[in-house]
A = this chain, B = another copy of it.
Amino acid sequence: MFVRPRLDINLNRILENYLSFSEARAFSSTIMAAVVKDNAYGLGDKEVAQTLFNKAGCRVFFVAHGFEGSRVREVAPTADIYVLQGPGKEDISCFAKDNLIPVIASPAQLDFWNQEKPNQQKPALQIETGLNRLGFRESEISTLSETEKNQFGMILSHLACADEPKHKLNQKQLDTFNRLRLSFPKAKLSLAASDGFLLGAPFQFDIVRLGAVLYGLNPVPNAVPKSKNVIRLTAPILQIADVAPGECVGYGAETIIQQKGKIAIVSIGYGDGIFRSFYPKGKVWFESNGQMFPAPMIGRVSMDNLICDVSQIPNDILNKNQFVTLINDSYTADDFGIDAGTIGYEVLSAIGHGIRFIRTYS
């Protein structure tokens, strides 16, 4: 009798993913950095950073916020830790204490950094090349003096459509990056995240920021190398019940039973990151001898439970399985995302925030 959902996180797979993408780089001089922001997409920033620091020699990490950088510093004493959202008053002490490197996102942040100067690191500069998100615009770059330009140790930009290799904006952003970088001849260069890396050598430059592919996401389907799934999400069945025609299932009585069948009530819900939008297309899986049997969602997802139709699951399998599977190597966070109407990134992030899992690391 179990009641809590489980999240098993495979750090060895994260290591494998890091290594297989490192091997695939066009130039051995390109540094492969690990993006561990938002608690490593929810999977454990310290666990992931420590694994990559100790076992893969990864010496460059990216986080979003200063306090996240301080967490990573605990396990990566000699790494370069970049803070993508830049410095702010809340976490400025982290930059001093843990020698973090800011990614300067706007002119106001540059002023703030130069005023505060909490450490001697050369900041990175984010430049805008077509995503229209954070970064110095061309007009803002042109107002920088030579001294100001030379203070940056890295120039960084981000692609809008790298998950669509044929999108014409990719080449356009690359051209813009190559033009704007000429203002910073001494700085290291970084344009690509996981999907940008897959666009090939011209996008890889000095530093690649690997995030999604470390965590088993494949933003570009069928790309090589392929990232391997790193999590196993399972949840206990609390009850199996017969249902008869005319009965309703779940909130809003949205599902009306058409024929005699069986349902299972599973102890996981949107309080654990299972989006309500997972209904109606989602399903959970019964595993038996390497085979997977789907049980479709039936009824809306509740905060603590979901209900699935197990009418088609063979009785012996139904009787022996105490757990159903929500994510594994065969049905990944990307697959889950498609069924929930979103992307694997958001699925991982939502599940990763769950506080009720029994979490294990292997």
Contacts and interface: CB of A to CB of B under 8 A. Distances in A.
A65 interface: yes
A349 B160 contact: no
**A interface: dominant SS:** loop
Contacts of A243: 132
B84 A133 contact: no
Nearest to A257: B132
Residue among A108, A133, A169 with the most chain B CB within 10 A?
A: A133
Interface in A57-77: 64-68
A356 B128 contact: no
Contacts of A252: 160-161, 163-164
Contacts of A85: 3-4, 238, 267, 304-305
Contact of A2 (B90, B169, B238, B354): B90
Contact of A105 (B88, B135, B163, B239): B239
Nearest to A105: B238
Contacts of A2: 88-90
A90 B251 contact: no
Interface stretch (A14-22, A179-187, A200-208, A339-347): A339-347
28 contacts: A2-B89, A3-B65, A3-B66, A3-B86, A3-B91, A4-B91, A38-B271, A38-B303, A64-B271, A65-B356, A67-B356, A85-B238, A85-B267, A85-B304, A85-B305, A128-B241, A131-B250, A132-B241, A132-B249, A132-B307, A133-B265, A164-B252, A271-B349, A273-B353, A275-B346, A276-B342, A277-B341, A350-B353
Interface of A: 1-4, 37-39, 41, 64-68, 84-91, 105-106, 108-109, 112, 128, 130-135, 137, 160-161, 163-164, 167, 169, 236, 238-239, 241-243, 247-253, 263, 265, 267, 270-271, 273, 275-277, 299, 302-305, 307, 341-343, 345-346, 349-350, 353-356, 358
